[in-house]
Amino acid sequence: MPVINIDDLTDKDKAKMAVDQLKIEVKLERALVSKCCEEVRDYIQSGSEDDILVKDHPIYTYEHFALKESLSKIIEQEINPFVDQWEKAGLFPAHKIFKILGSAGFLGVNKPIEYGGLGLDFSYSVAVSEELGNIRCGGIPMAIGVQTDMATPALARFGSPELKKEFLIPTILGDKVCCLGVSEVGAGSDVANIVTKAVRKGDEFVINGGKMWTTNGTQADWMCLLANTNDGMPHKNKSLICLPMNLPGIHIARKIDKMGMWSSDTAEVFFDDVRVPCKNVIGQEGMGFTYQMLQFQEERLWGVANILTMMDNVVQETIQYTRQRKIFKQPVLHHQSVHFRLAELETEIELLRSLLYRATALYIKGNDVTKLASMAKLKGGRLAREVETAACSIGEGWGSPVTFWLAGFTGTPD
Ligand SMILES: Cc1cc2nc3c(=O)[nH]c(=O)nc-3n(C[C@H](O)[C@H](O)[C@H](O)COP(=O)(O)OP(=O)(O)OC[C@H]3O[C@@H](n4cnc5c(N)ncnc54)[C@H](O)[C@@H]3O)c2cc1C
């Protein structure tokens, strides 16, 4: 075989080699998932009792369960044993964890194969998000969700091939950490009212302003930034820009302390005459508000799927605890008011799950589900508060440490 000197290759040849390599990796991942599928199918066909939901699931197939199964192993081996340590430190090693998840294909399940994704539909992202809810804190799943379903959907859908090569591929592979810059000190829910400005000077934008509550903000390699790129109408004057975070003029002002989600770094970021090439705009200039609103749909559904598992776990652990804890000569669980409360919460969780699956089923068929996704997000945020309060009060001394990681969801992003 002739020896190829990498320096003799053209950029085109190198790009082709990189894509070929990615295709091999994706094939390997698929082979693994397929093997796992067979195991899951065998298990289901062996006929254990409450498997009806698995055999006849409204949106999941064997492949969804296989993905969940292999993610669950990573969570148990690589994440959960270290959660307490990272929560105390107020930071988790995003680059290390994202590389592990990226190498196993979990950072781009619904992203195109040619950019390193698995090329599956959004229901697989929902399945992954549900499984990530088994991480024993809220901060790390949220940070992963920002990378997979909050800061990258618009880039995958509307970005140029060059931008996708520079930002999407390394993000899906876990080589780069990204963040989403929408909220500002003076504008959160009212996205149209942001003031960060990107003024065109030649073939560059000069950016001034700042972003607030930026998840992954202290560790990110790039930001999906929403900025005003002209002085027109507020819904037509914004653009989404891929902004490398190592440019001169970007200052991380502080890491914000929060009541929960401690291991996730939440930053305040300032831009002082930051220069970025105009070609870094995602899609069409001036369409940023619309792209961001579309991006929020996936973010909302992802968030609901994630919190469902956490709420489920809190209720199940409360049931276990109250079953063995005795008060007035019988288990706490056998007191009717406690039993009824927990049954009611379980019912509400299942209702929310049905809404999530319906919205997801409609979304993957190409429908606009803004209303259903927003309803699900509203209900998810409220229910998380209810579950947290109920588990805290039913468990008394035990309840507080068990539910503290739900606390961050009382202020959920978007
Ligand atoms: C842990 C965490 C992580 C986050 N990560 C990110 C991130 O990565 N990137 C990012 O851009 N942002 C992020 N956010 C910000 C989050 O998206 C904002 O908190 C959200 O947009 C709300 O904005 P705000 O906090 O400025 O509240 P405001 O918009 O000021 O809202 C204040 C109050 O007004 C209410 N309100 C809003 N709209 C209406 C209305 N139409 N009528 C009546 N009342 C209304 C709200 O419910 C709220 O009670 C994060 C937040 C948290 C808590």
Task: Judge if the beta carbon of residue 256 lies within 6 A of ligand 1.
Answer: no
Domain range spanning residue 252? 179-286
Instruction: Average the pLDDT over 386-399 and give the result.
Output: 83
* End-to-end CA, the chain: 55
Q: What is the Cα–Cα distance from 214 to 198, expressed in whole angstroms?
A: 18
**CATH (domain of 375):** 1.20.140.10
91, part of any domain: yes
Once rounded to an integer, what is the mean pLDDT over residues 190-209? 97
* 24 Cα–ligand 1 center, Å: 42
**Hey, whose CA ends up nearest to atom 33 of ligand 1?**
189
With the most atoms of ligand 1 within 8 angstroms of its CB, the residue from 91, 184, 189 to mutate is 189
Residue where a domain stops, chosen among 286, 308, 332: 286
Does 259 reside within a domain? yes
The enclosing H or E element of 241 equals strand 238-244
Instruction: Give yes or no: residues 27 and 147 share one domain.
Output: yes
199 and 105, same domain (yes or no): no
Domain-located, residue 4: no
Atom from ligand 1 closest to the CA of residue 183: 11
- Testing ligand 1's pocket by substitution, the residue of 179, 213, 245, 378 carrying the most ligand atoms inside 8 A of its CB is 213
User: In sequence order, what DSSP letters do the residues of 317-340 get, joined into one string?
Assistant: HHHHHHHH-EETTEEGGGSHHHHH
> Is residue 77 a part of any domain in this protein?
yes
- For the chain, the average pLDDT equals 89
39 and 102 within one domain: yes
Location of structure tokens 């990796």: 25
Tell me: do 76 and 33 sit in the same domain.
yes
Q: Of 120, 116, 119, 118, whose CA–CA distance to 169 is shortest?
A: 116
Looking at the fold, whether 387 and 402 belong to one and the same domain comes out as yes
User: What is the per-residue pLDDT across 63-108, written as a single tens digit (0 to 9) for each?
Assistant: 999 999 999 999 999 999 999 999 999 999 999 999 999 999 999 9
Mean pLDDT of 156-163: 98
Q: Any idea which residues carry the catalytic annotation?
A: 299
What is the atom index within ligand 1 of the atom nearest the CA of 264? Answer: 1
In the predicted model, what is the mean pLDDT of residues 321-325?
A: 92
Of 225, 258, 286, the residue at which a domain comes to its end is 286
411 lines ligand 1 (CB under 6 A): yes
Checking 101-105 for CB contacts under 8 A at 24+ apart, the result is 101/74, 101/144, 101/174, 102/172, 102/173, 102/174, 102/175, 103/173, 103/174, 104/29, 104/70, 104/71, 104/74, 105/26, 105/29, 105/33
What's the pTM? 0.88
Specify if 249 maps to a domain. Answer: yes
- Distance separating alpha carbons of residues 80 and 132, to the nearest angstrom: 11
* 399 alpha carbon – ligand 1 mean position (Å): 28
Q: HEC string of 253-292?
A: EEECCCCCCCCCCEEEEEEEEEEEEHHHECCCCCEHHHHH
Q: Are residues 263 and 308 in the same domain?
A: no
Domains: count for the chain: 3
Residues 19 and 166 occupy one common structural domain: yes
d(CA 103, CA 55): 29
pLDDT given for residue 409 in this prediction: 47
Predicted confidence (pLDDT) at residue 263 exceeds the cutoff of 80: yes
Q: Whose CA is nearest to atom 22 of ligand 1?
A: 188
Q: Please tell me the distance between residue 193's alpha carbon and the centre of ligand 1 in angstroms.
A: 13
Angle between helices 62-74 and 11-45 (to 10 degrees): 100
In a domain, 1, yes or no: no
107 in the same domain as 21 = yes
Q: Whose CA is nearest to atom 53 of ligand 1?
A: 411
Average pLDDT of the segment spanning 326-351: 94
* Amino acid code (one letter) for 389: T
- Does 82 share its domain with 33? yes
**266 Cβ closer than 6 Å to some ligand 1 atom:** yes
Q: How many percent of the chain have pLDDT more than 70?
A: 83
Is position 2 within any domain? no
In sequence order, the 6+-apart residues with CB closer than 8 A to the CB of 302 are: 125, 126, 129, 145, 148, 149, 150
The secondary structure element, H or E, covering residue 252 is strand 250-255
Q: What is the pLDDT of residues 277-311, one digit of tens each?
A: 999 999 999 999 999 999 999 999 999 999 999 99
Overall average pLDDT of the 21-47 stretch: 60
Structure tokens of 350?
A: 């299942």
Query: Residues 105, 84: one domain?
Result: yes
- Closest ligand 1 atom to residue 187 Cα is 26
- pLDDT score at 56: 81
CB atoms within 10 A of CB 371: 9
Grade residue 395 by pLDDT with cuts at 50, 70 and 90: confident
User: Whose alpha carbon is nearest atom 21 of ligand 1?
Assistant: 188
Identify whether residues 300 and 372 lie together within a single domain. yes
Alpha-carbon distance values, 289 to 153, 201, 235, 255, 285 (Å)? 14, 22, 6, 27, 10
- Residue where a domain terminates, one of 156, 176, 196: 176
Residue 216 Cα to ligand 1 middle (Å): 17
Nearest residue (CA) to ligand 1, atom 7: 214
CATH number assigned to the domain comprising residue 120 = 1.10.540.10
CATH of the domain at 227: 2.40.110.10
Give Dmax over CA atoms of the chain in angstroms: 82
pLDDT band at 405 (very low <50, low <70, confident <90, very high): low
Residues 58, 154, single domain; the answer is yes
What is the SS3 assignment for 370? Answer: helix
Cβ(109)–Cβ(70) under 8 Å? no
Residue 248 lies in a domain: yes
